[in-house]
Amino acid sequence: MIIQPTTLRSILTFFVLGLLLFSCKTREKLVYLQKGDDQTKVQPDYQVILRPDDQLNIMVGGSDMESLAPFQFFYSTNTQGGQGAMMQNPQMMGGTVISYIIDINGNINFPGLGFVKVAGLTRLQAVEFLQKQLEVYVEDVVVNIQLMNFKYTVLGQVKAPGVQSVPVGTERLTILEAIAKAGDLQITGLRNNVLLIREVNGQRVEYRLDLTSKDLYQSPAYYIRQNDVIYVEPNFTANFQGTNFQTFTQLGTTAISIFLSLYTIISLTK
């Protein structure tokens, strides 16, 4: 059976259009934040809530060093005879800052105050709370608190899965920044159904996130919290990985080359 030139041209036209439609459909699955309102406002609530097992660096300052001493808890081994000593300024005198671990009851054992509950507070709320407790004893008291162990985990179809640590002093970290630190999603990653697991009040809460939609900005999981777990599921493309995918690609490339060659010949002989 001989295929007429007009029939072959129609077949090639539909084939090329099919490729274009497939390319557009694939792009829709890969591009971030392509859908939704451009005027969407980002939620401002990104402050980290302190939890049990958080590790805190707490610095206390004031105008009167003598009244400040009972509330300082620094330890040095640079004293004569090798014995440790309490210090007022560990950065200037070579001391090591002692971190405070929030216990299972949400408390820290703070010098001069005893057990103080800080779990459930933001970092700034904890600063204000401690300052009010200490201003009774220390004039012009200043408190600074830093979270030392802010980390999260990324699993699945990303380039560098694993536990990611956030620099000390950083509180504002978005889901997009968290994924970027893991090397971004692979092409085999499902972008419209990313799972984020978070512990809230002792219970695990799951969020499903669509990275292709600007509605992501309004999600309570847009900002990362300490110990969050992000899991990127494989998409349909992942099923074609390996030898089968390479074979399919080679056959497809050969078929396209043959069709284009025939189309060129027909066009020249018309």
Higher pLDDT, 32 or 234: 234
Helices (H), the chain: 5-30, 65-68, 90-93, 123-134, 175-181, 243-269
**Which residue has 């939704």 as its token pair?**
36
**Global pTM?**
0.70
Residues 247, 205: Cα–Cα separation, whole Å: 42
Residues 171, 224: Cα–Cα separation, whole Å: 9
For residue 57, the model assigns a pLDDT of: 92
For residue 17, the model assigns a pLDDT of: 54
56: which strand partners? 100, 147
Give 262's pLDDT tier (boundaries 50, 70, 90).
low
Domains delineated in the chain: 29-47+150-234 (3.10.560.10), 55-147 (3.30.1950.10)
For residue 39, the model assigns a pLDDT of: 64
For residue 95, the model assigns a pLDDT of: 41
Give the Å distances, CA to CA, from 183 to 28, 82, 170, 171, 179.
Answer: 21, 46, 19, 20, 7
SS3 letters for 18-70?
Answer: HHHHHHHHHHHHHCCCCECCCCCCCCCCCCCECCCCCEEEEEEECCCHHHHHH
Residue 92 has pLDDT above 90, yes or no: no
Residues 184, 34: Cα–Cα separation, whole Å: 17
Contact 111, 98 (CB under 8 A): no
Higher pLDDT, 234 or 254: 234
Give 16's pLDDT tier (boundaries 50, 70, 90).
low
| Mean pLDDT for all residues in the chain | 78
Give the Å distances, CA to CA, from 213 to 4, 31, 34, 93, 118.
Answer: 47, 9, 6, 52, 36
Average pLDDT of the segment spanning 56-78: 76
Residues 25, 18: Cα–Cα separation, whole Å: 10
Contact 52, 63 (CB under 8 A): no
Average pLDDT of the segment spanning 122-143: 93
Residues 120, 48: Cα–Cα separation, whole Å: 10
Residues 132, 108: Cα–Cα separation, whole Å: 16
Contact 221, 175 (CB under 8 A): yes
The pLDDT tens digits for 183-207 are: 999 999 999 999 999 998 889 999 9
For residue 22, the model assigns a pLDDT of: 45
Residue 162 has pLDDT above 60, yes or no: yes
For residue 131, the model assigns a pLDDT of: 94
Q: Given the DSSP bridges, would you call strands 151-156 and 229-232 parallel, antiparallel or unpaired? A: parallel
